[in-house]
Structure 1
């Protein structure tokens, strides 16, 4: 969870709302949110963090693995293995990382 929430300034899930996190019957976890970044943006950021040993101590190369969901719509859900723990990312009504950051900072400025 540190990789998802505390990986940078601002974090990967900055601007997302209504987090729900639960264990699945298969032993992994599901994480859902509203607004915020698209699932593939989250995966790409995690993959980039894992490949950049200079800027993070959270991950090593190979700690983050994108799992292809076949013909499923990647905008609806995406699966990623983080240090061998399967996590199903299930975003709803997302607006993208940049728009979510702008929206979050605009709300603070009011």
Structure 2
């Protein structure tokens, strides 16, 4: 018999609780507006590793093979570029963004003190 857990006054067995792994790609594949917000948020607030992860997640949502083909990048090279183990070239990131339907650009602003 499993351990009892009480949630909002309801007694449950551990077997009653099913936990699944969250995969953002499942939600980004069909919702273009959500995908854009997801990527913009990563670009505005995240570290380089998190930005690469956001691009990787969105590429998985769109299909890595299709994304690589649209970007003109071998699928293996796309995986490598988004692995976090290397720093992809800016040109690679531009091609990836274009393949995903976005234009990658920079802006500059003074550092707030």
TM-score of the two chains, using structure 1 as the length reference: 0.30
Q: Which has the higher contact order (CA 8 A, sep 6+)?
A: 1
Higher helix share goes to which structure? 2
The structure whose Rg is larger is 2
TM-score of the two chains, using structure 2 as the length reference: 0.29
